[in-house]
Structure 1
Amino acid sequence: MNVFAKTIGFSLGLTLVFTSVTQLLPQVEGEAPVERKVDLGSLTMDDFVAMGEDLFMNKGTCTLCHKPAPLGRAPDIQGMDMVSISAKRLADERYQGEAKDAAGYILESMLEPSKFVVAGWGKKGSNDTVSPMPHIDKPPIQLSAMEIDAVIAYLQAKDGNEVTVSLPSPEAAAEVAAAAPAAGGAAPAPAVTAEEALGKYACSSCHAMDSEDVLVGPGLGTIGARLSEAGIRQSIVDPAAVIVEGFPPAMPPDFAEKMTVKELQMIVTFLAEKK
């Protein structure tokens, strides 16, 4: 009887320990969207530049590819003076665009990235004639004209250059505030479908979802035939664990931390069914 009581006591104690530990772990699922309020009607240029930096780092998903070598899959534009670099690219004989100045070149590079592809950074097999960069004004990133101007302002200002884009008019700012919650309202709500989650985290900006075509990263058209659900989950949660041959470790290590538990599971299940 004494042995039995000790066994029960030990089991209960162990259960309490595990329960306490799980309460200390971060709980991702069910977090409420964070409010990001910006008074667009009274923006200063400093505010506009700060907005551009935030868009560059977050919604624009620019840092997924634009980062220092060897991790980057695109030029490290944060480490470059984009105004002077733009002048050199406008003078390059391979330039096919219509821009006349730095602001125009940066704008063009976001809206029509294949107008000029930096040598060595083109889509594989294109001989640097096709850019792997998505059109930033179209889904899934879909920055507004005002947000694009803010990014240009940031890229000009970060190296001490004059900002040549104009602040949005109060009318334009009010229109964007009403139409785009990310610019002045609540952060995006948790996705409810796998397709919505893939769009929210701009997965298709780097991976072809319905083929094996190489964009920035490998195509995922038949990923379920190559990896189990556990393998797919690991590639998202710990992308450096297994690196596909021929690709640098460009995927952010904290990518999964931005997702809710449900969003991550929906993406894993969706990709596992692609065979």
Structure 2
Amino acid sequence: MPIVIKVLGFSVALTLVFTIITNLLPQVEGEAPQEKTFDPGAFTEESFVLLGEDLFKGKGTCTLCHNNMGRAPDILVMNMGETAAERLADTRYQGKATDTESYLRESMLEPSLYVVKNYGKKGSKSPMPVINKAPIQLSEIEINAIIAYMQVKDGNQMTVALPTATPPQEKTKTVQALAENAEAAISQYGCTACHAILTSESEIGPDLRNVATRLSSAEIRQSIIEPNAVITEGYSPMMPSNFAEQMKVKELEMIVQFLAEGGQ
């Protein structure tokens, strides 16, 4: 009996010691990430361009492909005013743009309307996702800010009108239709922009046509839900961490099953 009492007493004392030490240590409280908000009526030209730069390199994921790796034109080292004029004069151009601003907007909203020579996929299709749709879903103000940044970064004049304050309006939430199959979901969420899959030959990310030989279904699912948890050797952590949040559960499972079965 005395031994049991001693053991219990030691356990209680040890618990108290750890409790005291824990309370003495600095307490760190994590904060949930917050979505950036802005007042449309408070922008200056400078702050609007800075917003565009932040979106171009962040939420818009533009630098994922538009860099010096050769998968898409390196916008950061190009004069987009001169470039837009050259492309509008191209005999292959069949769009409706008439100036730099309208060309840049068209290239983001209808990327396959005009594909720059030596880029794109089979059938003259652009691997670039439509940026006002999932998974990027930029607003009109955000698109205009990126256009303003691409104009001003080269010393050209900003032609985009600054947003103005508008009275609050009730937002109508729209629900995007469920993708019909895995192939549709893969295209809808822009997987082909970085991965070799379906008709895409992109090498920005790992080849997904043979991913089933490397990963189990559970590992494929994790790579979509937590894309930066395990990085394939030779690649950089570029996939958006909230990528899976844009999908419906059924769409995620369709993609996982499709890849687990060898992309068939």
TM-score class, shorter-chain normalisation, is 0.5 to 0.7
Q: Aligned to 1:143, which of 138, 141, 145?
A: 138
Q: Could you tell me which residue of structure 2 aligns to residue 223 of structure 1?
A: 211
Equivalent-residue separation in structure 1 for 2:169 and 2:74 (angstroms): 33
Assess, with a 3 A threshold, how the Cα gap between structure 1 residues 274 and 240 changes in structure 2: closer, same or farther. closer
Deviations, residues 74-107 of structure 1 (Å, cap 9, x unaligned): 1111110101100000001111101000001100
Contact 1:137 1:144 in 2 (8 A): yes
In the other structure, the counterpart of 2:233 is 241
Alpha carbons of structure 1 residues 235 and 59: separation in structure 2 relative to 1, 3 Å: closer
Match of 1:112 among 110, 113, 132: 110
Distance in 2 between the 1:111 and 1:215 partners?
A: 22
Question: 5+ unaligned residues in a row in structure 1: which ranges?
Answer: 1-26, 181-197, 243-248, 260-265
Give the unaligned 5+ runs of structure 2.
1-28, 174-184, 243-248
Report matched runs for 1:1-275 at 5 Å: 31-34=31-34, 36-68=36-68, 71-123=69-121, 125-126=122-123, 129-171=124-166, 204=191, 206=193, 212-214=198-200, 216=202, 220=208, 223-228=211-216, 236=228, 239=231, 241-242=233-234, 252-253=236-237, 255=239, 271=256, 274-275=260-261
RMSD: 4.3
Looking at structure 2, the residues matched to 221 and 31 of structure 1 have their Cα atoms a distance apart, in angstroms, of 38
What is the alpha-carbon distance in structure 2 between the residues aligned to residue 134 and residue 53 of structure 1? 19
Q: Is the 8 A contact 1:237 1:254 kept in 2?
A: no
Q: 1:74 to 1:102 in 2, by over 3 A?
A: same
Where relative contact order (Cα < 8 A, 6+ residues apart) is larger, the structure is: 1
CA distance in 2, matches of 1:34, 1:207: 27
Q: Secondary structure at the match of 1:214?
A: coil
The offset of 1:35, in angstroms, is 5.8
Who wins on radius of gyration, i.e. which is larger?
2
1:219-242 Cα shifts (integer Å, max 9, x gaps): 747733443466985985565615
- Higher fraction of helix: 1
AA of the residue aligned to 1:204: C
1:100–1:38 CA distance, 2 compared to 1 (3 A):
same
Identity of aligned residues (%): 42
Match for residue 186 of structure 1?
A: none
Give the TM-score, by structure 1 length: 0.61
Distance 2:130 2:76 in 1: 19
Asked whether the equivalents of residues 192 and 200 of structure 2 are also in contact (C-alpha less than 8 Å), the reply is no
Matches of 2:63 and 2:135 in 1, distance apart?
15
Cα distance between partner residues in 2 of 1:271 and 1:92: 41
1:146-195 deviation digits (Å, cap 9, x = unpaired)? 111110000000011100010012118x669x899xxxxxxxxxxxxxxx
TM-score, length of structure 2 as denominator length: 0.64
| 1:224 partner letter | A
Q: 2: distance between equivalents of 1:140 and 1:94?
A: 29
Instruction: Give the letter aligned to residue 223 of structure 1.
Output: V
Is the Cα contact below 8 Å between 2:81 and 2:156 reproduced in 1? Answer: yes
